[in-house]
Amino acid sequence: MQLAVIEDRLEYHREIPAEQLAARRRVPIPFHVIINPQLSIAQASEVTFFEGCLSLTGFVALVPRALAVQVHCMNERGEPHVIDAEGWYARILQHEIDHLNQYLCQLRKAEALRHH
């Protein structure tokens, strides 16, 4: 079983300039759980932003991510659930699902560098 907790609280946004929030299409995301997520890219367009990780505090990388994704999963009650996400929410889901697959965002940067 794979499980991730997803959340992006309003208080995390308070010190971020409004222009930056808008550019990242970042809005508050309420606490929820995804179980056994299966991610698919809903929009091939990628955007690149700095991304950090609490697993490697202090390290950030410019990481390309899909702008929109769809995730099939179960919710915290074990019920089937489909999430259509875009912007920063899509980035969070990709980041957390990468963790479930033992992949760190800094490796995404290295992978992107190899392909350019």
Q: Is 96 a catalytic residue?
A: yes
Q: What is the pLDDT of residue 107?
A: 61
Which is more confident, 35 or 108? 35
pLDDT band, residue 108 (cuts 50/70/90): low
Instruction: Estimate the crossing angle of helix 87-100 against helix 105-114, to 10 degrees.
Output: 100
Please count the other Cβ atoms lying within 10 Å of the Cβ belonging to residue 111.
12
pTM of the entire predicted model: 0.87
C-alpha distance from residue 17 to each of 26, 55, 111 (Å) = 11, 25, 30
47 pairs with which residues across the strands?
Answer: 65
pLDDT band, residue 58 (cuts 50/70/90): confident
The answer on pLDDT for 17 being more than 90 is: yes
User: Residues 72-98: what's their mean pLDDT?
Assistant: 96
Give 39-96 as a 3 state SS string: EEEEEEEEEEEEEECHHHCCCEEEEEEEEEEEEEEECCCCCEEEEEEEHHHHHHHHHH
Q: Which of 7, 11, 76, 96 is catalytic?
A: 96
> Cα dihedral sign for 87, 108, 99, 82?
positive
Domains and CATH numbers, the chain: 3-114 (3.90.45.10)
